Amino acid sequence: MDEWKYENAPQLRDLFSRFAKSDWRKLTRWSIKASEVRLLLAIKESHGSCSDAGGMTVSDLSKLLQVTSPTVTQMINNLIKNDYVIRSIHPGDRRVAEITLTDKGEQIAQEAGELFTQLFNGLIDHLGKEQSDQLIALLEQVFQYFEQVGKEQL
């Protein structure tokens, strides 16, 4: 019957497992976790789109990174300890804490942004424009599929 159409399932499972275990997205040269680098990038890239062009709130960052507020708070506390971000009280609403980058955090976010751009430009060079476009379309479909399956199973 149609058994042949599923013959790639073990190979797909293996590839997804290899991606999950790979170090390419975990390694950082700044002695902080990759998730913390992503948080610094999110603050840098969202600067100006925040309310009152101030810092970002934990809630803003949680929504943007699609992680829980306690997870963001834990990352922020570590970044504050290492002088990468500052937590300050919003001048118009003392209940709101804003997170902004320090010069040190801005430097890391700048370097990380450039590094990620180089990394993905290199991937495009490696694959070529046509295959890169195909990869993007396929990964979008994969993402949508897994989002849908996740919603149906909850």
> Could you state, in order of their start, the residue ranges of all structural domains in the chain?
24-128
pTM for the full predicted model: 0.78
Q: Could you give the CA distance from residue 56 to residue 87 in angstroms, rounded to a whole number?
A: 9
Q: Which fold has domain 24-128?
A: Arc Repressor Mutant, subunit A (1.10.10)
pLDDT tens track for 90-106: 888 888 889 999 999 99
What percentage of residues in the chain have a pLDDT greater than 70? 91
Neighbour count for residue 133 (Cβ, 10 Å): 12
pLDDT (tens digit per residue) in 104-124: 999 999 999 999 999 999 999
Residues 51-60 have pLDDT tens digits of: 445 689 999 9
What is the rounded CA–CA span in Å between residue 62 and residue 82? Answer: 21
Does residue 39 have a pLDDT over 90? Answer: yes
